[in-house]
Amino acid sequence: MKRLILLLAIVFLAAGLRAAAVLPVGEGKFTYKDYPPFADRPVDVHYYIPASGDVRRMPIVFVFEGADRGYTYLLKAWKQEAEKHKFMVFIPHFDLERFPLPDYQEIGVMDDKDHTIRPAEKRTPALVDKIFEYVRQSSGSERKEYMIYGHSAGGQFVQRFMLFHDSPYVEKAVIGSPGWYTFPDASQDFPYGVRNIPYVTPETIRKYLAKPIILQLATGDTIRESYLRKTPEAEAQGCNRYERGNQFYQYLHRIAAEHNWPCNWQKIEEQGIGHHSTGMGRRAVPVMLGDSLRALFIGNSYTQYNRLVRQVQALAASTGHKLSVKLVEHGGWTLKKHAANPETLDAIREGTWDFVILQDQSKAPAREKEWVRENVYKPAHSLDSLRRLYNPKGKTVFYMTWGHDIDTYAEMQQRLAESYLEMTAQLNAWCAPVGIAWKRIRTENPSITLYNDDHSHPSRQGSYLVANVFCSVFFQKPYTGTYYAGLPEEEALYLQRIAQEIVFSNPSLWNIQPTVQPEEVTRRFYPEPEQQYSTPTLGKPLEEGLASLFEINRYLKDLADKHPGKVTLSDIGKTPQGRDIPVLYFGTPNEKKKIRVWIQAGLHGNEPAGPEATCMLVDYLLNTPEGAELLKKISLALVPVANMDGYAMQIRKSGSGYDLNRDQSKLADPVTLLLKKAYKEWNPEIALDIHEFNPFRKEFELLRGTKVATAADVLFLPSGHLNIPAGIRTLSNGLFREEAEKALEANGYHSGFYFTPSVRNDSLYAMKDAKSPQSSSTFQGLTNAVSLFIEIRGIGLGRACFARRAECGFLVSRSLLETAALHSKEVRSGIRKAAKEACSGKSDISVTFQSTRTELPVTFIDLTKNERFTETLLTFDALQLKAELVRKRPKAYILPDTCRMQAEKLRALGIEVEEIGKPFTATVEKYMVTGYKKATKEWEKIYPVTVSTRMIKEKKSFPAGCFIIRLSQKNANLAVTLLEPESVNGFVNFEVFHTELGKELPIYRKN
């Protein structure tokens, strides 16, 4: 008996010890080595378990590293998602030494040494299943399954994991942007196909296709950087990750169709992003967790035709969203009838609807105002009240239908838009602007028939457009859906695009993102100008929002066609999404007597006042005598919308996911290359870049404890970079800025200096200009052009104050041209002097600098009290820089023959680079890296590097094919700023040159 008690005690003790091995919640790590085939290769598993929530039921997600095997930043990003959405995340760290490429990306299918095929239990995925079993045991989870996600090399791992391994546990797999694929193709050898893998049978492939796998691609992942595999077999899959993914996906569907196998693969195309692991991971979360939204549609045949509600659901599913739907419809019914219908009211009372969609009879909201108020607004109001009662967290969405009266289409459409938008505003609902999207397609693409034969109900195309407007409104995120409702792909994608552009370009108009600025403030401080404009946005009804690119192009083309002798409308090339970037040339760059000016706008896609301002300028130059006078003295290159892909969706970044104003020297985006090439060819003497800024910054709340915004209409951002010759800086910040300021003032507009707010020790500071001035303002100045850069008060205002904003941009542009014409001699001599100074090699180079502490009076608007006030802020002034590290200017820089890529980037920026055909020897200064710091935070898809160096003089032999950059050239200042290794705008900083601590840089100075 005693022995039994003892034995029991031991058992309990053991159980107790076991229970003690529970994984603590929060962030942690454990080492797993219990699976015999991998016992010699222990794996550290980093994880995060949310502190609150039910651990037993939380989903479990395994995330796999990229080729860098960096788990730190992955964990940091995934941890936030895990906490927010309550799931556990595990990141096994497969270090490079123990798990080289064949064991990781290729999951250990083959033994790397003897090329034998490994049995299932020795392949890496088997180990992951075992880690999952351990996690279940030690976390208290009752989940029977787990999900897997990998991006890039991690995506390759997941792709092959699912092909070669039959896990009993994986419930869902998301493959993010792999560089290349193993096709289930028996005519190619592994790793590109499966010919030499005997256990992959047709049955394996059938199963593979049936698995719930999601392929996540990025439309911006089109850059062929050095990590991309470039073997002939990989190249045969496509020339970049986006193309390869699409080919792979099409291949799977093709073999599924050939064999009549079910294929459960889905493809999601993420927009506005490139090869970005954490960004893509974040977007994969809702797809994996499958949070479902619920929508109740109330309407008539317009909602019922072509099974619209099912279409919305299928489309949502193809973009990774779950949607539950219910429909209450009766042919020809009005909202008034619905408001008295027990079935409709019961449906609303079901509750937990995220969206209740209301659609009235197609003609009712277009009738006279008084009637509409009584018979449309009232029942809408009562339905909305019931929705609020039973679904307080939900939203009422008005389904704005389309005009269909053949004779009076425009008026009918206008009335529908007014009524639906008024209801939307009154009830603080959202609007699904189908009628506006409809109108746009009628104008832009009349070959698409949106109406049915009765010219009232929607055709298949019409209904598909409606479905897309709803998906855009519900999920508010750009997408490419793979559900086409039986339409040809090209047509379906076009309809998808138009619906999204309409919704995303005017979210404040549809009340999806209400404007931050109260109407009283707008009325009191920001009235619209008296002048009427017929430019693309201002020339159309307010209800239709911002001009589309089509409308801007049409406007410019009409003007150009009327004045063939004065202007040429051309393009500087195509964006990654296939849009031509328009440019207008007034004159040529070779007219010696005319001063050359460059103006660009819309470098950030969500700053639409700039493009509108340039349209005003074009109209002024071509249609007024004053404009004609200016054109006698000036030749102008004008790029109205520099970031076309961004403008289409009203997003800041480019189609490839870059901030183009932060891409001035690394030139990572193809659009930057096109812009620089055109700039270089025009070789301007004066340049202007027009932006908009966000006046509503949270930091300003520190001032009064209430919502406060910057007041100025325009902020100037001159560059204080010390490598820009002082003469150029004085012309830019003095003469040209001051004249522009006067022009604004004369029209009642306020201006000031640009700054970004910064909070230190609970005090608000202004960072005037920018210490690391990575913007056109600096770039233009370094090319010895007089440089103006303005920010108009606009972001966050949507379509509000639009004439005012655009007019500000126009006034500055016009003033710049007038000042240029009036002071052309002074400008020319200033530039000549600066160029001479740069070429002489006498001035030193400022490599790094410190800003000066000053004060800056700033005018603000108190949004609550509706009053203006001025506050003086402590300021770090980058317009008054003090040089820190100063170097003598060399005669030339030499780059070795291995630096062709860097040499090409310099050339693209307009710097003359000579290639030396034969070997030579020279005494040079070389840089040894004595300090090295890589940023831990990703910035523009790189981790910027800060170095310190020691210079050593030595005699060095260079082989044939080296590059020489002589500094007796116009763009010498740009060259030194890019090539000095410590420079904040430089090639080393932006990883155009890769280096390490203790290494010699491939940049040499020749004195």
Q: Which residues make up the interface to Zn ion (CB under 5 A)?
A: 604, 607, 691
Q: Which long-range contacts (CB under 8 A, 24 or more apart) does 547-550 make?
A: 547/608, 547/612, 548/440, 548/444, 548/501, 548/505, 548/648, 549/579, 549/641, 549/644, 549/647, 549/648, 550/440, 550/443, 550/444
Q: How far is the CB of 768 from Zn ion (least distance, A)?
A: 17
Q: How far is the CB of 675 from Zn ion (least distance, A)?
A: 14
Closest CA to 843 of 967, 1003, 734: 967
Distance CA 1007, CA 1002 (A): 16
Which CB, 659 or 897, lies closer to Zn ion?
A: 659
Closest CA to 807 of 619, 622, 543: 619
226 membership: H or E segment, kind and range = none
Q: How far is the CB of 649 from Zn ion (least distance, A)?
A: 15
Which CB, 325 or 740, lies closer to Zn ion?
A: 740
Which CB, 791 or 837, lies closer to Zn ion?
A: 791
Catalytic annotation present for 791: yes
Q: Tell how strand 1000-1006 and strand 892-895 pair up.
A: antiparallel
Q: How far is the CB of 795 from Zn ion (least distance, A)?
A: 8
DSSP secondary structure letters along 567-603: -EEEEEEE-TTS-EEEEEEES-TT-TTSEEEEEEE-S
Distance CA 409, CA 386 (A): 34
Which CB, 478 or 611, lies closer to Zn ion?
A: 611
Which CB, 492 or 715, lies closer to Zn ion?
A: 715
Q: How far is the CB of 652 from Zn ion (least distance, A)?
A: 7
Q: Give the Cβ contact number of residue 2 at 10 Å.
A: 6
Distance CA 237, CA 256 (A): 19
856 membership: H or E segment, kind and range = strand 845-862
Tell me how far CA of residue 199 lies from CA of 14, 106, 108, 125, 163, in angstroms.
42, 16, 14, 16, 11
Distance CA 840, CA 846 (A): 16
Distance CA 839, CA 966 (A): 9
Q: How far is the CB of 639 from Zn ion (least distance, A)?
A: 14
Closest CA to 437 of 468, 409, 459: 468
Residue 807 burial class via C-beta count within 10 angstroms: exposed 0-12, middle 13-18, buried 19 and up: buried
For helices 609-623 and 549-562, give the axis angle rounded to 10 degrees: 10
Which CB, 650 or 995, lies closer to Zn ion?
A: 650
DSSP secondary structure letters along 491-559: HHHHHHHHHHHHHHH-TTTTTSS--SS-HHHHHHH-PPPSS---STTTTS-GGG-SPPHHHHHHHHHHH
**191 upstream amide cis, omega within 30 of 0:** yes
The catalytic position among 692, 791, 925, 982 is: 791
Q: How far is the CB of 740 from Zn ion (least distance, A)?
A: 17
Which CB, 607 or 663, lies closer to Zn ion?
A: 607
Q: How far is the CB of 794 from Zn ion (least distance, A)?
A: 9
Q: Any idea of the CA torsion for 669, 670, 671, 675, to the nearest 10 degrees?
A: 110
Closest CA to 983 of 939, 946, 930: 946
Tell me how far CA of residue 737 lies from CA of 464, 729, 733, 782, 858, in angstroms.
51, 11, 5, 18, 18
Q: How far is the CB of 547 from Zn ion (least distance, A)?
A: 18
Q: How far is the CB of 753 from Zn ion (least distance, A)?
A: 16
Read off the amino acid at residue 140: G
CB-CB contact of 399 with 429 (8 Å): no
Which CB, 190 or 598, lies closer to Zn ion?
A: 598
Read off the amino acid at residue 82: A
Read off the amino acid at residue 707: K
Task: Label residues 374-387 b or e (16+ Cβ within 10 Å = b).
Answer: ebbbebbebbbeeb
Residue partners of 574: CB distance under 8 A and separation at least 6 = 580, 581
Q: How far is the CB of 889 from Zn ion (least distance, A)?
A: 33
Task: Label residues 710-727 b or e (16+ Cβ within 10 Å = b).
Answer: bbbbbbbbbbbbbbbbeb
Read off the amino acid at residue 159: Q
Distance CA 32, CA 129 (A): 12
Residue 151 half-sphere exposure toward CB, CA atoms < 13 A = 21
Sheet holding 867-887, edge to edge: 708-710, 845-862, 867-887, 763-768, 755-760
Q: How far is the CB of 504 from Zn ion (least distance, A)?
A: 18
Q: How far is the CB of 733 from Zn ion (least distance, A)?
A: 19
The residue at minimum Cβ distance from Zn ion is 691
Q: Which residues are marked as active site? A: 791
